[in-house]
Amino acid sequence: MTNLRPYEPGRDPLTGYVTRDGRKVRILATDRRTSGDFCLVGLVDGVPAEEIQFWRADGTTGTWSNHYLDLMCAPERRTAWVNFYPEIGIVHLSREKADARATKERIACVEVTFTEGEGL
What is the number of structural domains in the chain?
Answer: 2
Residue 14 placed within a domain: yes
42 and 98 share a domain? no
Contact 106, 85 (CB under 8 A): yes
pLDDT at 120 over 80: no
pTM higher than the cut 0.85: no
Report residue 89's pLDDT band, with 50, 70 and 90 as the boundaries.
very high
**Structural domain boundaries enclosing 37:** 1-75
List CB contacts of 32: < 8 A, sequence separation 6 or more.
Answer: 38, 39, 40, 41, 54
62 and 81 share a domain? no
Residue 120 placed within a domain: no
56 and 105 share a domain? no
Task: Report, as an integer, the average pLDDT of 73-100.
Answer: 96
53 and 82 share a domain? no
32 and 58 share a domain? yes
SS3 119: coil
Query: What is the tens place of the pLDDT at every residue in 59-78?
Result: 999 777 889 999 999 998 89
Query: What is the tens place of the pLDDT at every residue in 16-36?
Result: 999 999 999 999 999 999 888
85 and 98 share a domain? yes
81 and 70 share a domain? no
